[in-house]
Each structure stands twice: as structure tokens, then as C-alpha cells.
């Protein structure tokens, strides 16, 4: 999986989307950078399957810390092409264009089974056995049962992490389906019930987090600009911050914000 729990493992109890809060260690304005990120991606042609960090960094004069970058990528409904597909990317660090029609081919659930096959999904239950079956990928004839079980367990783990990360931003299950190599009309019920994840609860927490973050950032930015960073309309952003106000001030949060010990992600050519 491209962005693991080690890099980004939200608990859903966070009060704000803190990566959007100005931080002296950034060296850039996170709201402006997020707007630039979204607008740059929107300008990519649909035929462009992947992009590199340098396409977002502009002239490269400003380093983008990993703390911000790995969140911004998923926030924009993109993801890093998994190391499982290294033979496809040629070893360079690339990210999936969220507007590329065939983006599912880079599914982030990808698992390299010990039999040598790449497995990305199994999203159908056999009506007779009630067991989950792989319907779009196949193991080799030499695959051992324990290898298949292990790859299936890893795939479920990847699904949980993808849903956990997307839900933190308020993304719907449908908006996460391509990252999991699932049809956009797939029902969330089968997967989220198996994982015991309450999507309605996670969505409610995310909307409250967005509202509080917008309310906080109004100390420095217009609602219109914050909405552009979120990729939502200004009226909707206003509705959310009115529903979920905060007593904190931006300066207090910046002062209390712990150092993130930023590291610069490896940017390959």
C-alpha cells in the first residue's frame, strides 16, 4: 500500500485538519499550496495517468514536507502508485491522476502474492458458501492456500486503511472505490460491515472537523479561499462552520501545535 498507517493513521478524534493550519516549519502557506495542488491536478489531461511531485512543486524552490504531502495527495483523491507496480512506474515516485479514467489499474489495495501474481480485489461473496472470492485477479496454479490467505488478509488491511484515510477527509465510499479497484456503484455495506466501520459516524465526525477547521482559519483567510482548498463550495463551507463553531483562535492553535519534525519525501526524477 502506498500511504501506510506509519505515515498517516487518523484516529477520527482529531479536532481539526491540522495539516492545513499554517505552521512556521512549513516554509509555505498550506491553504495556498492546497489550492495550487487541486488546480494543477484539474488541469491535467485525462490521458495523463500519473504525475510527479515536481509537477506540484513548481520551480522546486519550496520543499513540501511529508507530513503535508501525504495528506494533501489523499485529500485531492489521489494516491501514490504502490511499490507493487514498480515495474510499471520504472522506479520513479508517481501519483495517480484522480481524473484518469483507468486509474483503477493502479489500485492501492494491490498485494503481491508469494505465487507472483498481483491481487487487487475480491469483492463478491459466493451465494452458496458465503465466502469472499477474488473475481478480477487470479493466483497461479502453483499458489499455496496459505499464500492466498495471507494476500487476502493484507488486502483487507489495505482496504481498512484506505477507508480510514478517506473518511477522515469526509470522502464518501464511492469516492474511494477506484483506489480499491471497485466499481463506483459498489455498495459500501459489504465491505464496511465486514470491517465493522460505521461510515455514517465517520462522515459526521469529518464534517464537524471540516466545519471547525473552516471556522478557525477564518481568522486569516476568506471562506471562499478555504473552500477552494477543500474543493467545496463557499456556501457549503459557510454552512459547516456555522454548524460546528470553535472557541479556539488560530494563533492559539498555532502556538500549541506540536512540531511535526518534518521530513522531505524522496523526490525521484
By the 10 Å C-beta count (0-12 exposed, 13-18 middle, 19+ buried), 33 is classed as: buried
Minimal CA–CA distance to 244: which of 201, 222, 215? 215
Low-confidence ranges of the chain (pLDDT < 70): 1-7, 57-62, 86-92, 122-138, 184-189, 257-269
Beta strands in the chain (DSSP E): 50-51, 95-96, 111-112, 118-119, 124-125, 132-133
Does 11 fall in a domain? no
Does 267 fall in a domain? no
Does 141 fall in a domain? yes
* CA distance from start to end of the chain: 21
CB 204 within 8 A of CB 168: no
Does 25 fall in a domain? yes
Does 10 fall in a domain? no
CB 41 within 8 A of CB 98: yes
pLDDT score, position 60: 56
Range of the domain at 22: 18-256
The total number of structural domains in the chain stands at: 1
Does 268 fall in a domain? no
Dihedral of alpha carbons 176, 177, 178, 180, sign:
positive
Other Cβ atoms within 10 Å of 216 Cβ, number: 26
Amino acid at each position: 500500500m502506498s500511504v501506510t498507517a506509519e505515515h498517516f493513521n487518523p484516529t477520527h478524534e482529531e479536532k481539526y485538519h491540522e495539516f492545513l493550519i499554517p505552521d512556521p516549519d512549513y516554509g509555505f502557506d498550506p491553504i495556498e499550496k492546497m489550492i495550487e495542488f487541486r488546480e494543477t491536478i484539474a488541469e491535467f489531461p485525462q490521458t495523463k495517468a500519473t504525475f510527479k511531485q515536481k509537477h506540484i512543486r513548481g520551480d522546486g524552490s519550496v520543499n513540501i514536507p511529508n507530513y503535508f504531502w501525504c495528506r494533501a495527495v489523499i485529500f485531492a483523491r489521489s494516491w501514490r502508485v504502490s511499490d507493487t507496480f514498480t515495474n510499471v512506474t520504472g522506479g520513479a515516485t508517481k501519483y495517480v491522476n484522480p481524473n484518469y479514467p483507468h486509474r483503477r489499474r493502479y489500485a492501492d489495495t494491490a498485494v503481491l502474492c508469494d505465487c507472483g501474481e498481483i491481487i487487487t480485489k475480491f469483492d463478491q461473496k459466493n451465494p452458496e458458501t458465503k465466502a469472499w472470492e477474488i473475481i478480477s485477479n487470479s493466483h497461479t496454479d502453483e499458489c499455496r492456500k496459505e499464500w492466498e490467505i495471507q494476500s487476502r488478509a493484507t488486502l483487507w488491511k489495505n482496504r481498512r486503511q484506505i477507508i480510514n484515510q478517506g473518511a477522515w477527509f469526509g470522502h464518501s465510499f464511492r469516492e474511494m472505490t477506484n483506489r480499491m479497484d471497485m466499481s463506483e456503484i459498489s455498495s459500501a455495506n459489504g465491505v464496511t460491515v465486514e470491517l465493522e466501520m460505521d461510515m455514517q459516524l465517520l462522515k459526521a465526525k469529518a464534517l464537524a472537523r471540516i466545519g471547525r477547521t473552516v471556522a478557525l482559519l477564518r481568522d486569516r483567510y476568506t471562506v471562499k479561499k478555504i473552500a477552494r482548498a477543500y474543493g467545496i463550495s463557499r456556501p457549503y463551507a459557510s454552512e459547516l462552520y456555522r454548524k460546528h463553531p470553535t472557541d479556539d483562535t488560530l494563533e492559539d492553535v498555532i502556538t500549541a501545535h506540536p512540531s511535526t519534525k518534518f521530513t522531505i519525501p524522496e523526490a525521484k526524477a
